[in-house]
Structure 1
Amino acid sequence: MRGRGGSAPAEELFTVRDSLHRLAEDIAVSYRTVEGARWAASKWPAEHRVKGVSFTIHRTPAGISDPEERFAAVLTPPEGTARWTPDEASRRVGRQVAKPVTPQEKISAIHTLAKDDEVAAAVTGDLLRRPSVVAQVRDEDKVRAVAELTREDQVAAAVAPGFLRRPAGGSSGAPVSKSPPRRGRRQAWRDSALPPHSGAGSTALPRGRAAPGRRGFGSRHSGADGHHSRVGAGVNECVG
């Protein structure tokens, strides 16, 4: 019973959001579904809705900002087809399709499915086991992948021996640097017995003769010089 002199309390306002929530509960769908359908319907006045074209096809290009372009899109099906399909409508606005056909559509689908790191790791491992796939990867991407995969010391230690066993410039065609041939012990003794100015074409010393300028080698002096003489003779025997 209302008190004297008072006014009737204003009824609580029933907002659009409340109406959509109630409708969603009545028809057993989510609120987002009802809200999206309301938004799409607002983009298509009754006079521009095409008979025989599903609501899904109307909803897909609803995001086109230009009304004239949006209305014309539904009226012109893709070339070579008599009617719109959900995937064709998605292609028209650049969205991901349910059934990818072109390479780019397949790449987009893979990226979407591989957003989870666990899924991406499993897919990457499978792809790297396919030589035909790895062969098509750009060199700079391969280098970046190797650098990333060998960050762990355990992995780097496992692959390093394989790298070190490869000849320099193996498959890349890079010139291989050749080190000079190692001299044998006999040649080393010979070079030590020759004077510094003698070259490859110099005449070899006769057996038993000491190199000029080398004190004691081959001399006939006694004492320390005699000792050096014997050593020099032994050296000359080795290099002779």
Structure 2
Amino acid sequence: MGDAALEIEPVRAHGGHLPVGEDGPRVEESLRIFAEEVGLSLSTVKTYRWVASRWPAERRVASVAWEVHKILLSADDPFALIADPPVNERTGRRCWDGDAARKAVGWKTSGTPSTVAEKVETVADLVPDEAVACQVITGMLKRREVAFVAMRDRDARQMVNEIQFEQSGVGQDDEDDDGLDEEYERALACEDSQDDDSDVLRADPATVVRAWHRQMEFNDLMGVCHGFVAGASRLVPKLRGQEFTSKQHTSVEQVLEKIRATCDWIESAVATGKGDLDDALAQLLRGQ
């Protein structure tokens, strides 16, 4: 989400009439619209964007929590620091957690798990046995807020979805699949009405998974669309008075043809729920 916000509104570089990192009204409004569409607060989106802008993709460590990346930005050289994790006194392994990151940058620590990341690591260390872990997870997923937040994790959502489909036989019978679609729509209707949130919990687990899966896909789509519009809005005004060669005109026309076809494809997919790419469009997008 931070990368998407950064694509929509890049953080200002040095120079210009505004100080570094200071956003004008247009940027605020653009990020606010994006935040509302993906269901986040403006301050959250701005925080994600700020952290993403200071951690280039090639410098990030996938196994290290986002919170740690954020905290280490207070260090003199966060890129070198994150590559040298400290030894965890409890496990004896080299790894980063929130408490270790705070110590590294000189912040006060509690000495006991306090953040979500620290508590998660503590729980993981305490339940290495799979049988115990299964019972703990099963109990936790019976909590409404836990189940819904867990399904926002892409990997967890995909795993639960695959296992649920395997156990229920979904995908092997069209009638079963149609029934699941109907149940999914009913769950969304319950969620939108907010008359009885417990109805959503009583839905089939695959229903919840698919609802969150579609929401995250919608968020990704909004990020791509907003990024294109924002980029064009910044660039096109700069073209005033410029002259292009016939070859450049041809190149632009070819790209615009692909963009129009892609927009039609998106509109059709949103209206019908079918995102299949036909041969003609596939050839056009490949430049054939």
TM-score with structure 2 setting the length: 0.27
> If you compute each CA radius of gyration, which structure gives the higher value, 1 or 2?
1
Higher RCO by CA contacts (8 Å cutoff, separation 6 or greater) = 2
Structure that is richer in helix per residue: 2
TM-score with structure 1 setting the length: 0.32
